Amino acid sequence: MKRTIISLFAGVPLIPSLASAQEVKEGDTATVPGWAWVDVKNPEPIKSGNTSFGYNESCGIQHGGTVTVVGIEGNRLLVRYSIGGTQFGTPCPTGVLFFTTKETFSKMTAEYRRVRQSEQNEKDFVKQLIKN
């Protein structure tokens, strides 16, 4: 059941308008483009609505959540996840820490915007088909 965020976003195309991955600094934020399993790195278990997640257990980050860089070592970023509301089941609660790469982090918000636009285009198309 454990998967890494790197594998989920490996297919995200490099977008030239993005800031260089080398420019990422503590406090920077990005928006999660879609569901991804991450390995929890909180030293102490973190509570969710009906469960808790311990170190190295997996939970899922969701489309629209936010990650904030809290530490950097080389290409590796420690990020803190946040999302509105109480989470139940396998979704990560606010406060989960996990590792990602500078490259993955740098692509997240642009991919989130691309996904949202694609969803809106499809909704508009469905509405058009229903009218006809």
Q: pLDDT by residue (tens digit) across 24-79?
A: 999 999 999 999 999 999 999 999 888 999 999 999 999 999 999 999 999 999 99
What's the confidence (pLDDT) of residue 109?
A: 87
Other Cβ atoms within 10 Å of 105 Cβ, number: 21
**Domain carrying residue 101:** 5-11+18-131
Cα angle value 44/46/47 (rounded, 5°): 140
Total tally of structural domains belonging to the chain:
1
Q: Which pLDDT value is given to residue 85?
A: 83
Whole-angstrom distance, CA of residue 56 vs CA of residue 101? 17
